[in-house]
Structure 1
Amino acid sequence: MSNPPTISGYRITRPLGRGATARVYLADDRQGRQVALKVLLPEDERQEYPDAAGMFANEVRMTMQLTHDHLVRGYGGQGFDEGAYLALEYFPQGALDSLVQPGRPLPPEQAARILRGVAEGLDYMHRQGAVHQDVKAQNIYLDGDRAVLADLGCSYMMGQGGRVGGSPFYMAPEIYRGEEATAASDVYSLGVLAYEVLAGQRPFEGDDYNELMAQHLNAMPPSLAHLAPELPRLVARTLQQALAKNPDDRPDLLEVMAALNEWLGADVEVGARPEPAAPSGPVLGRHAAPQHEASAPVLTEPESETDAAPGLLARWNPFRKKG
């Protein structure tokens, strides 16, 4: 690996990995915090992924704009030019996919708390008018009992439009058709995640993009109640309904959270929508709104398996069939 870059205010201690848009380093900031420091790849290393700079700039903009306990914290960033970087909360426990094994669901209460945390983060995003568009186990990090949704490179503000995309195992049918993502598209991805953590399997598997697309567009998912018989009926029914082919037939996140809260016995009022929280920090760089492109979906690139490391960079080949 080449010598680490110099980013003012950060002392790099070691590399964590390399992705499609950036190299990631473990670093210390001026406050003494350990951070995951993402640094945009040089131009000559982005040739196979020409939109890398735009996606990275979008990730900086969205991360710094959206602040919630179940979204990754951005400590600072610059979205453009060769010095582009993003300093993020670091998670030594790594990503959720390190715990998800085929045929081995998570303990039910742990799975329910993870799903509720992700749902809370998504609900906040949707109330701000944003969609995540890449909900998956590889983008969820654990901090004790706290589940944190990360990687906002595919996210965009619904009023401004953006590029449709995501990860093939998790994409809603409308995304496969090249339609604009909505809150219901994120609910669908959350439903796929629910099968992984509660049943130990994804609802649809495939060895290539076309096989997955055919299943997401046409096949019915297996019964979650049958795969995980210990689930309360309301929870199983609500989470399976999240995989409805028609976005209008899916539950909203308040319904999902209500079912999970009832199961967990949480004394949480569901239904009230608080006022949007103001961003906690500056948005740095020239952050123009991305333009919507109603075309074939843009797939999020997998990280190199040889470079993957715990923290903010733990990915896999999206077409490697689990099990």
Structure 2
Amino acid sequence: MISQLGRYEVIGELGQGAMGVVYKARDPLIDREVAIKTINLSLAMEERDEYEARFYQEAKAAGRLSHPNIVTIYDVGRSEDIAYIAMEYLHGRELRDILNETKLLPVSEVLAIVIQVAQGLAYAHEHGIVHRDIKPSNVMIVRDSHAKITDFGIARMASAAVRTQTGMVLGSPKYMSPEQVLGKEIDRRSDIFSLGVMLYEMLTGQVPFIGENVNAIMYQTLNSIPAAPSSANPAVPEMLDYILAKALAKDLDARYQ
């Protein structure tokens, strides 16, 4: 394990992402713990200088976001072939882990979390930034069920420049919007769709589009209309059926704007 990234003293590994290792580190200048997400520049499938410049552009744009439901970005830098983003270190858990343990949270708790995520997204969208990869593993739950969105400024880099050995663009197929599946230009309405998928999963215990493989999931995303969540969970009010039908509309213009 590396011991230093720029001025940051690495304490340990927090996890492994698609683009690199996530570290817990300490900023000695102000004696603050940070989380550092790394990106291996050697994975770039394009001119490295262009990729690195775009990485800094994306990270700096995300770093201008200041909202209680978005993880704060402190710094960006590079150490040899590793570019990194230093951000707020959270004492909490991924929503993904919580859902794995407790399949169905109370509807009131689900709504409290999703409303916070929606507020964070609305703020980012007002500032011209689309997340592109909203899913439970990119939402952290900290004290008193406070939700924070992670990975702003990172998802675009992954989708644009980091590919699997088979050439498939990395992503989260279960949460992708139809326009993402088709490789089209996306905007804030893609985040709305992904948030709808996450809400559906939280209410029913499963995502709305299911398949045996990535291609099957993408086909369902493009062609199937999911059952109303209240049919799987009687505790779900009919109003949420309507809200989800709108959020998960195939037509961008039919979704919440």
TM-score normalized with structure 2 length: 0.83
* Partner residue of 1:197 out of 197, 202, 209: 202
SS, match of residue 104 in structure 2: coil
Partner residue in 2 for 1:211: 216
- Contact residue 40 and residue 82 of structure 2 kept, 8 A: no
- Contact residue 192 and residue 202 of structure 1 kept, 8 A: yes
Partner residue in 1 for 2:149: 149
Rate the CA distance shift 1:21–1:28 in 2: closer, same or farther, 3 A. same
Q: Distance in 2 between matches of 1:210 and 1:64?
A: 35
Partner residue in 1 for 2:19: 21
Rate the CA distance shift 1:58–1:134 in 2: closer, same or farther, 3 A. farther
Q: Distance in 2 between matches of 1:216 and 1:102?
A: 26
Structure with more of its chain in helix, by fraction? 2
- Partner letter of residue 14 of structure 2? L
Q: How many angstroms does 1:83 deviate by?
A: 5.7
Q: How many angstroms does 1:18 deviate by?
A: 2.8
Q: Distance in 2 between matches of 1:19 and 1:59?
A: 18
Q: Over residues 141-181 of structure 1, what are the superposed CA-to-partner deviations in whole Å (9 max), with x where a residue is unaligned?
A: 1112211111121249xxxxx78974210111122122111
- Contact residue 154 and residue 165 of structure 1 kept, 8 A: no
SS, match of residue 192 in structure 1: helix
- Contact residue 41 and residue 83 of structure 2 kept, 8 A: no
Q: Distance in 2 between matches of 1:22 and 1:149?
A: 19
Q: How many angstroms does 1:236 deviate by?
A: 2.6
Q: How many angstroms does 1:65 deviate by?
A: 2.4
Q: How many angstroms does 1:91 deviate by?
A: 2.2
- Contact residue 62 and residue 129 of structure 2 kept, 8 A: no
**RMSD of the alignment, in Å?**
2.6
Identity of aligned residues (%): 34
- Contact residue 106 and residue 200 of structure 1 kept, 8 A: no
Q: Over residues 238-277 of structure 1, what are the superposed CA-to-partner deviations in whole Å (9 max), with x where a residue is unaligned?
A: 123211111111123xxxxxxxxxxxxxxxxxxxxxxxxx
Q: How many angstroms does 1:105 deviate by?
A: 1.3
Q: Over residues 195-249 of structure 1, what are the superposed CA-to-partner deviations in whole Å (9 max), with x where a residue is unaligned?
A: 1111111101123221011101111111112123222322231123211111111
- Partner letter of residue 97 of structure 2? S
- Partner letter of residue 133 of structure 2? D
Q: Over residues 109-142 of structure 1, what are the superposed CA-to-partner deviations in whole Å (9 max), with x where a residue is unaligned?
A: 2211110011001101111122111100111111
Whether 1:176 and 2:181 are equivalent positions in the alignment is yes
Q: Which runs of 5+ in 2 are unaligned?
A: 162-168
TM-score normalized with structure 1 length: 0.67
Whether 1:136 and 2:135 are equivalent positions in the alignment is yes
Q: Distance in 2 between matches of 1:239 and 1:193?
A: 10
- Partner letter of residue 242 of structure 1? A
Q: Distance in 1 between matches of 2:102 and 2:210?
A: 13
Q: Over residues 59-102 of structure 1, what are the superposed CA-to-partner deviations in whole Å (9 max), with x where a residue is unaligned?
A: 52233122211111111112696463211112232211001139
- Contact residue 95 and residue 138 of structure 1 kept, 8 A: yes
- Partner letter of residue 27 of structure 1? A
